[in-house]
Every structure is written in structure tokens, then in C-alpha cells.
Amino acid sequence: MTSHDNSTAPIAAAKRYRVNDTLVNARPLEPALYLVATPIGNLSDITLRALETLAGADVLACEDTRVTRVLLDRYGIENRPYAYHEYNADEAGARLLAALEAGKSVALVSDAGTPLVSDPGYRLGQLAIDAGHRVVPIPGASAPLAALVGSGLPNDAFLFAGFLPTKDKARRDRLNALSKIPATLIFFESPHRIADTLAAAAEELGEARPASVCRELTKTFEEFRRAPLGELAKEFAERTVKGEIVLVIGPPAPDAAPDAADVDSLLTELSATMPTAKAATEAAKLTGLPRKELYQRLLELRGAA
């Protein structure tokens, strides 16, 4: 007798997702690259449109399949994720572009938050646009925006500046370059570098400048520490912290700065008893002005003398 058992044949994943106890069929997607925002911590922070896209896409690409699988399992999505990250971007990116050329729908997610924001998905997005493919953002959770609105700092104008350089001089140069921008600054930072970054920011931007260290956003141990940079620098110099961090720094104060003559007098007085760099640092603490600017002015004063 001839057997018709096809149990060993591959079975396509069902294109559906689960909301509470209800299974929902995902509608077909048009060919495009879909950039899908995923939760930054709390798995409930996912949109229905995102779930439908993750379930309905012909190809699902992600940074780490293990991380994305947790989200997919939570919502009963059987779509198999494929890895796309900085170490395989050339090879995996070519496969994803080929899928788009073949008229398939491709969904891209990062480990958390909105794709293309400080992750390798930016390259794929550019390649897809250059090749004439449609790119569709599926908005949702965003760590920079969550930190901004929770920080209590001005949000009418803001600049997301990603990660600061790891080396001290490069970090200070970058902070100084951003110091005069009339906007709230937003950075990603790691827990083992946050103390050094706060110390550099306090010196380069002024200890009185308001800031907020936003840690473990949307998670169980979510924390906002809101204080001037000088206070935060002292606090985190003595703390060991874990988890993902977003540092938000308020805009510079209006130019009602201390009188220039008074600043010059202070610099001259301080430099009489201490080295130039230390005098500039002390003046920054007393005036709230950027240390680098004060250091430069002190050199000018000494040159004139």
C-alpha cells in the first residue's frame, strides 16, 4: 500500500497572533520593509498593528532571535525570526533585499524599541530606499521619548545624540560641541560608564545644568533621578547600578550669564593659587559655566598679562 503520510513535510507557520485568549488572523501585507517598534521592557507595550505585522510578514528579521522569540511566544506568533545584526549585516542584508525584490513583505525589529535608532537596521533601511522599495514605519515604544517625557525637562526642542564616545577626551569634546545647542540632550549610556559621563558632563556643561538619569524604563525597577548634573555626578560616583540607562540633560540657561568682568576677576584670583585646569574647574563649579570655555578664557587672560 502506498502511504500518503506527509507528516515530515514542512508546515507553514499560521499567520495569526493572540490577544489575551483570542486568536486573530493577520491580514496579508503588501510588499515592503516594515520597521516595527517593540517593547523596551514591558511586553504589554506593543501595538495591535505591530502584532499583525510580526505575524503576517513573509520574512521576519531581528537582532537576536532569542530575545524576539520571547515576544513572539507571548503573543502566540509562530513566524520564525531570522538574525540580522552588525556582524552578519552584509550577508543577511543581501538576503532580505532579495526577498523584497521577490515581492515579499519583510519585517525588521530590534531587540527593544524602534529599529534604526542606534542599531544596524539603519543600513538596511538605506539600502531598501536606494533600491526603490517601500519602507513602512510601525511606530511604538521608544526609549529616548519615554525618558524625555519622564524626565520633567523641556521637550519643545530636543536632540537625540546616541552613545557618547567611550574615551574621556573624545567624550568631553563631544559634550562641549553640544553644550550651546538650545535643546534638551538625550543620550544612551551603559551602567559602568554613567558615573564618568556625569562627571564629564558636570564639568563641560556646568554643574547647575538640570538633568535626569532614567534607568530600566518600563521595567519593574524603573527609576528617574532628577537633579543638577553636579549632584548626579556625586551620587553616581558612589553608586553601582545595573540596567539600561538614558541620560537626559536640559538645555543651557539663557545668556543671563555672570558679568564677564566678574568672571575674569574670579579666574584671575583662582589662578593665583592653583594650576590653570584646576582653576577653570573650580570656576565652573562656582559660575555654572562650561569648564572648557573658562579654561580658554583663563589662557587668554594669562596671555594678555
C-alpha–C-alpha distance, residues 106 and 54, integer Å: 9
Q: What pLDDT, on a 0 to 100 scale, did the predictor assign at position 257?
A: 60
What's the rounded mean pLDDT across residues 280-300?
88
- Return the beta strands (E) in 88-209 as ranges: 105-109, 135-138, 158-163, 184-189
* pLDDT surpasses 50 at 1: no
Q: How confident is the model at residue 305 (pLDDT cuts 50, 70, 90)?
A: low
**What is the tens place of the pLDDT at every residue in 210-230?**
999 999 999 999 999 999 999
Higher pLDDT, 78 or 285: 78
Q: What is the per-residue pLDDT across 116-144, written as a single tens digit (0 to 9) for each?
A: 776 778 889 999 999 999 999 999 999 99
Give the mean pLDDT of the chain: 91
pLDDT category at 14 given cuts 50, 70, 90 is: confident
pLDDT higher than threshold 60 for residue 151: yes
Spatial distance between the Cα atoms of 229 and 236, rounded to a whole number of angstroms: 10
Q: What is the mean pLDDT of residues 271-290?
A: 88
Collapsing DSSP to helix, strand or coil, 105 comes out as strand
pLDDT at 118: 63
pLDDT band at 5 (very low <50, low <70, confident <90, very high): very low
pLDDT band, residue 98 (cuts 50/70/90): very high
Identify the pLDDT of residue 159: 97
Residue 197 has pLDDT above 70, yes or no: yes
Length of the chain in terms of residues written: 305
Tell me: pLDDT of 155 over 70: yes
Give the pTM: 0.78
> Distance of CA 12 to CAs 18, 58, 78, 279, 293, Å?
18, 10, 9, 70, 63
User: 158 - beta bridge partners?
Assistant: 184
Residue 206: the pLDDT is: 93
Q: Is the pLDDT of residue 9 over 90?
A: no
Instruction: Say what the pLDDT of residue 256 is.
Output: 56
Give pLDDT, residue 10: 43
Give the mean model confidence (pLDDT) for residues 196-209.
Answer: 96
Write out the three cell numbers for 168. Answer: 574621556
Structure confidence at residue 13 (pLDDT): 66
Give 233-276 pLDDT, tens digit per residue. Answer: 999 999 999 999 999 999 998 765 678 888 899 999 999 999 99
Set of cell numbers at residue 152: 520633567
